[in-house]
Amino acid sequence: MTPEIRTALDAAVQQLGDLDLGDRFEPRAASAIVDAGLHRLCVPIQQGGLGASMVEAADVLTALGAVDGATALGFAMQTHVVGGMRESAVFPDRLRERLYRAIVDDGALLNNAATEEGGGSPARGAIPGTTARQADDGSWRLTGEKTWTTWLPNLSFAFVTARLVPQEDVEVGTFLVDLSRPGVERRPGFDAMGMRGSASGRLALQDVSAELVQRRRPGDADPRGPAPGHWFAIVVAAVYLGVGEGARRDVVRWALDRRPGDGSTAVADIPSVRLRLGRLDAELRAARIVVLGAARRWDEQCDGSDLPLAKLVASRAAVSATDEALRIAGGPGFLAGRLERAFRDARAGLINPPLEDVALAGFANDLVERERPGERPA
């Protein structure tokens, strides 16, 4: 991590530490990120950013996840969108430059808006109900509603997927929407089990002007290439790894301070507790090696084959670690607070793509094809 990134991260963490972060959306959390300059994390250095590599971005998000999962998840959206845009050739240079300037000069925050109510996961090929019509002057107008738009109150821009109409052959486009435009409505989200402070709301669009970035037929390869998907996998892996590491720190501190009975022995010195602590530590340390190793291979070789594995391993480790932490703390851990919230937040990783069954099916397919007769090395 460069000194500039470290300075921005430390400043953001310090400001976040002064906030009472919990299950309610806290808009000052995003302000802390922007005030520290960390929102420029993946903008190239020559454009006024911090120029973070994927492994540096993962390190930053893990640190933020240990402080507050919802804040880290919100900022992860900015990170993956800008990282993917930076490394994808399909984005027009003028659009990329305009967004870099908005981030650096105006503190702009970005996210994708793809998921829709009842439409299933876009990662599984869902066709959006949101429509895009081309006006007589050539401009595009979007109408529809997107769900699970993380950090929606904070966003300046969103990349929105929409079905092009009227048209005989179905095509899906990705559009850039300035969320200050007329026809944009930011609606509340859901009463979710975890990540409640992430403000994952509903983005409603009524005849909103938008800029076409790319278009494709369903089933065709994404013309943006693999970068956007790979960046999403690593940022969510890093966030949930951070949630698990934060729970590890908190439960160890609690176990050192807690002295039941006659007060002569701390909970941390009980052999069965030591076993649980060792188990959760081993899983988180192994997950960290996988996450950072996968990110480093992308940085050095453009090899993203292990990024779905990183997300899978990190999510599992976070779920397991927070479960162990709650078992160690017992009743006090079950009460509303950091450990209880981390337990719930970690489980949100189970619904973020790449989903576990998709990742495992991909691993199995690669394994079988490598061993299929005629494919084996001589």
CA dist., res. 284 & res. 282, Å (int): 6
Fold of 3-109: Butyryl-Coa Dehydrogenase, subunit A; domain 1 (1.10.540)
The pLDDT of residue 167 is: 80
What would you report as the CA-atom Rg of the chain, rounded to the nearest whole angstrom?
22
Please provide residue 189's backbone torsions phi and psi, each rounded to the nearest 5 degrees.
-95, -125
Predicted pLDDT of residue 124: 67
Write down the H helix ranges in the chain.
3-17, 27-35, 54-67, 69-86, 93-106, 227-257, 271-301, 307-329, 331-334, 338-347, 356-371
The pLDDT of residue 190: 84
Neighbouring residues of 141: CB distance < 8 A, sequence distance ≥ 6: 132, 133, 134, 135, 207, 208, 209, 210
The domain 227-371 is placed in CATH, from the list 2.160.10.10, 3.40.50.2000, 3.30.70.890, 1.20.140.10, at 1.20.140.10
**pLDDT score at 221:** 84
pLDDT score recorded for residue 377:
63
Residue-level pLDDT at 286: 98
pLDDT at residue number 378: 58
Q: Does domain 111-216 bear CATH number 2.40.110.10?
A: yes
pLDDT for res 162: 96
200: exposed, middle or buried (C-beta count within 10 Å: 0-12, 13-18, 19+)? Answer: buried
Per-run averaged pLDDT (10 residues), the chain, 378 residues:
97 96 94 98 98 98 98 98 93 94 98 87 78 93 96 97 89 96 94 94 97 90 90 98 98 95 91 97 98 98 96 98 97 94 97 91 93 74
Q: Please state, in angstroms and rounded to a whole number, the distance separating the CA atoms of residues 330 and 263.
A: 18
Q: Where do the domains of the chain lie?
A: 3-109, 111-216, 227-371
Q: Specify the pLDDT at position 126.
A: 81
Within 8 A by CB and 6+ apart from 76, the residues are 61, 235, 236, 238, 239
Q: Are 287 and 244 in contact (CB under 8 A)?
A: yes
